[in-house]
Amino acid sequence: MTSLAKIDEHATVTDVFRQALAEKVETESLDLPMLPEVARETLSMTRDETSDASELAKLIYRDQSLAAHLLQIANSAAYLGNNKIVSLQQAVARLGFRVISEITLAMVVKAQLFNVKGQEKTLAYLWQHALASGAWSKEIARTLRYNVESAFLCGLLHEIGKPVTLQAMIDIGAKNEITPSLEDITTLMDEFHTPIGVMLATKWKLPDPVIESIAYYQSYEFATSFAKEAMIVHCSDAFTTTMIRDPKMDEDYLRNLPAIAELNLYPDDVTALIEKQPLIKDTIEALSL
């Protein structure tokens, strides 16, 4: 339990949450959820070239809720081919390892982290933002012809620390009988999501480009090994925020982002990217289930 005795008596509720969160981050004592086994094994199988599709199908069978979600997504407009997918084996065979692992991780992350009682509205927004960032990252990477396959996860998970921060605030509030305001939540999520996200991604042993994107998407100039991924995510975050704010999207603002210049994207490239908005919306819709 956070020791409120150490907090100044004039401290605001925001200060209480801030200090408690800072302490938890500093002492690495935050309760971080485990990466569910199914997601861990899926990720590891994706990296293992000797794995085969039937093993993956068996693995997903262990989690019936995940299996059901996967079938729903496989049959959604974004993934549906000529025939309706009726079995998990068919889904794995058709969608392939990469897509399955991407969907699995997305579903697991949603179920595990985006599930804080009473905070449904905030979490729904964060989830939409995550999905859109994943989709934009992929399109930006495609324009750059650079690591398209890994871009989705980098974008999807770049603010994975936010729901964890939110959960931590709710827990701190419950223990100390205080309730964070929406403003507290927004402010403190912004302040703490990066270190918390990095802690979680490290614990979950997520791929290095994902961890670097979480750590440096706001300050890509400090990124070391995966600076380009961090820049792509920085831009995808801006594209997402702009799109959610106004579907017309502020093209001038996006064109003038320093990261856009860093990535050597010219005005025509930005225009072409903005035109991909319907595609992004399809992806969000498919994975919003």
Interaction of residue 76 with other proteins, rule CB under 8 A: no
Element (H, E) at 208: helix 208-216
Q: Select the residue interacting with other proteins from 149, 190, 221, 285 (CB under 8 A).
A: 149
Task: Give min distance, CB of 146 to other proteins, in A.
Answer: 5
Ramachandran area for residue 51 (φ above 0: left; ψ -120 to 50: alpha; else beta): beta
Residue list 209-268, contact with other proteins (CB under 8 A): 255-256, 260-262, 264-267
Interaction of residue 48 with other proteins, rule CB under 8 A: yes
Q: Which two tokens stand for residue 228?
A: 């380009």
Q: Are 11 and 19 in contact (CB under 8 A)?
A: yes
Q: Select the residue interacting with other proteins from 96, 116, 186, 281 (CB under 8 A).
A: 96
Interaction of residue 146 with other proteins, rule CB under 8 A: yes
CA 136 to CA 148: how far, in whole Å?
Answer: 11
Decide whether 7 or 146 has the Cβ nearer to other proteins.
146
In the Cβ-directed half-sphere of 142, how many Cα atoms lie within 13 Å? 12
Residues 6+ away with beta carbon under 8 Å from 209: 147, 150, 154, 226, 229
Interaction of residue 94 with other proteins, rule CB under 8 A: yes
Task: Give min distance, CB of 263 to other proteins, in A.
Answer: 8
Decide whether 29 or 225 has the Cβ nearer to other proteins.
225
Q: Select the residue interacting with other proteins from 56, 57, 95, 233 (CB under 8 A).
A: 95
